[in-house]
Amino acid sequence: MRLHIGIDDTDSAKGGCTTYIAAQLVEKLSQMQVRFIDYPNIIRLNPNVPYKTRGNAAVALRLEAPDTEYDKVREIAIQTVEQYGRIGEEGTDPAIVFLRGKPPPVVVRLSRRALTEILSLHDAISTLRNSSGSAVSYGSGLGLVGSLAAVGNTLAGDHTYELIAYRRPRNLGKPRRVDEDSVIRMDRLTSPNTFNNYDPTNKRVLIKPHGPDPVLIGLRGETPRVVYRAFRLLRLREAVERWVIFRTNHGTDAHFKAVPPRMPQANSPVVLKGVVHTMPIRIYGGHVFCELQTSRGVVQCAAFEPTGKFKDVVASLIPGDHVTVFGGAKQHGQLPLTVNLEKLVIEHLSEDVVPQNPRCPRCDKRMKSAGRGQGFRCPRCCYSSSKISKRLVKRERNLLPGLYVPDKKAHRHLTKPLSRYGLEKRRWDGKIPTGAWHTP
């Protein structure tokens, strides 16, 4: 029997982590008559869902077991979620989905929609009914959406790996003790096959989260081997309780690939081609706003301060530039829909032409306007003429066409970092996990 187990929404603002439950389950199931047919998957869903806890991630475990083991596997999964899930805390509505065989098309379709839409509990329940799956849910049951979506997304195309090491319970809430120099060294030795380890621009270690969750570090890379090697290169100053290598859609732009061609909708990813409509403006706080003329009308775009140099690139656009923008659409009250930019491709730069006062034909001094319709007058030699007019001068653009993404620290989990361009995988080889991929 092939069995897919999807789990979602077990964490709360106070702590917990769905991937930790997956790591616990890996330990328990690997002691049984069970064979994992894939690394545990972390599936990031639509990052624009407003009620998500942190990253909007669900997990899926995929395994093969004798039919006789089914009830036992199911029981252990339920027990583990009940033990480590933050059931009863605000906004925590866990669910576990069990699906035998291959995920049917109806579930695959739901998982695709979950990357770009906000699905309802009703969507999930009707999909579950049309599949052979079963589920256990707690609270409002909203976790059903993510757990079903995780089961249906088998990461057949581009994917990456993440090694997550977890903390001992007694260290929870304390600062994470990871030697910074060892992170820099590991980054030097393993990138670009690992990514988002360190942000040199802001001198920031990116492998450590900051919340109350049990994750000590997460190492992202192209293969299970390279994330394991990177892990061995780190000097950790606190004990690791357990670690697991996950296969994920991190850093793959999966949310943009799934965007259907339609009007931008609030809380959804957006990909839009257009022409810069007005001069971008920078507001208090450093955020940059820019209007884009598209085939669907004028759309407001925003690059926020934490995006670093990216917002300066947006600020140096001028009307007439041809761009493709990628981001998340947000609606704030009565304001027009705004696209929070996550990526920008400058296709074509327009000429920056500005009118300039002419030079004096006698003494070469820059002339001044003699008044509306009166021509120009030289402030040095007093030559004046009504026949001279302004000249158009081309200014240098300090910008090149191409791809721009925010500083690493402002990346979303799904954002494809610059270093991954060219490393994308067409498909997954389907090989079962081998070598060191979890402890214990």
From the CB of 371, what's the least distance to Zn ion, in Å? 18
Choose one: 11-19, 147-155, 269-277, 353-361; the region binding Zn ion (CB under 5 A). Answer: 353-361
From the CB of 393, what's the least distance to Zn ion, in Å? 19
Q: Which is nearer to Zn ion, 362 or 368 (CB)?
A: 362
Q: Which is nearer to Zn ion, 66 or 361 (CB)?
A: 361
Q: Which is nearer to Zn ion, 183 or 388 (CB)?
A: 388
Which of 258, 243, 212 lies closest to 43, judged by CA?
Answer: 258
360 is a contact residue toward Zn ion (CB under 5 A): yes
CA distance linking residue 191 with residue 384, whole number of Å: 65
Measured CA distances, 48 to 14, 332, 360, 387, 425 (Å) = 21, 13, 58, 58, 25
Q: Is 294 left (phi over 0), alpha (psi -120 to 50) or beta?
A: beta
Measured CA distances, 100 to 4, 6, 66, 71 (Å) = 6, 12, 12, 12
From the CB of 363, what's the least distance to Zn ion, in Å? 3
The contact mask relative to Zn ion for 262-301 (x = CB under 5 A, - = no) is: ----------------------------------------
* Dihedral pair phi/psi, residue 304, rounded to 5°: -85, 160
CA distance linking residue 107 with residue 153, whole number of Å: 8
Choose one: 190-198, 345-353, 354-362, 369-377; the region binding Zn ion (CB under 5 A). Answer: 354-362
From the CB of 360, what's the least distance to Zn ion, in Å? 3
Q: Can you read off the two tokens belonging to residue 83?
A: 């033990």
The contact mask relative to Zn ion for 375-394 (x = CB under 5 A, - = no) is: ---x-xx-x-----------
From the CB of 372, what's the least distance to Zn ion, in Å? 21
Q: Which is nearer to Zn ion, 262 or 365 (CB)?
A: 365
Give the number of other CB atoms < 10 A from CB of residue 128.
22
Q: Which is nearer to Zn ion, 189 or 381 (CB)?
A: 381
427 is a contact residue toward Zn ion (CB under 5 A): no
> According to CB under 5 A, which residues from 214 to 233 bind Zn ion?
none
Q: Which is nearer to Zn ion, 240 or 370 (CB)?
A: 370
Q: Which is nearer to Zn ion, 292 or 367 (CB)?
A: 367
Q: Find out whether 284 and 77 touch, Cβ atoms under 8 Å.
A: no
- Torsion from C-alpha of 109, 114, 116, 119, nearest 10 degrees: 110
From the CB of 384, what's the least distance to Zn ion, in Å? 9
- Torsion from C-alpha of 420, 423, 427, 430, nearest 10 degrees: -90
Q: Can you read off the two tokens belonging to residue 265?
A: 């909708």
366 is a contact residue toward Zn ion (CB under 5 A): no
Q: Is 416 helix (H, G, I), strand (E, B) or coil?
A: coil
From the CB of 370, what's the least distance to Zn ion, in Å? 13
Q: Which is nearer to Zn ion, 235 or 365 (CB)?
A: 365
From the CB of 387, what's the least distance to Zn ion, in Å? 15
Choose one: 24-32, 307-315, 370-378, 405-413; the region binding Zn ion (CB under 5 A). Answer: 370-378
From the CB of 388, what's the least distance to Zn ion, in Å? 11
From the CB of 358, what's the least distance to Zn ion, in Å? 11
* Dihedral pair phi/psi, residue 259, rounded to 5°: -70, 120
* Dihedral pair phi/psi, residue 73, rounded to 5°: -60, -45
CA distance linking residue 440 with residue 5, whole number of Å: 20
Choose one: 25-33, 326-334, 365-373, 425-433; the region binding Zn ion (CB under 5 A). Answer: 365-373
Choose one: 102-110, 312-320, 358-366, 409-417; the region binding Zn ion (CB under 5 A). Answer: 358-366
Torsion sign over Cα 374, 379, 385, 391? negative
Number of residues lying near Zn ion (CB under 5 A): 8
Q: Can you read off the two tokens belonging to residue 151?
A: 């089961």
From the CB of 378, what's the least distance to Zn ion, in Å? 3
Q: Which is nearer to Zn ion, 90 or 364 (CB)?
A: 364
Stretch (H or E) spanning 149: helix 143-152
Q: Which is nearer to Zn ion, 235 or 380 (CB)?
A: 380
Q: Find out whether 362 and 383 touch, Cβ atoms under 8 Å.
A: yes
Stretch (H or E) spanning 412: none
Q: Can you read off the two tokens belonging to residue 438?
A: 């979890």
Stretch (H or E) spanning 14: none
- In the set 172, 363, 393, 432, which binds Zn ion (CB under 5 A)? 363
Q: Which is nearer to Zn ion, 45 or 360 (CB)?
A: 360
Residues that bind Zn ion (CB under 5 A): 360, 362-363, 365, 378, 380-381, 383
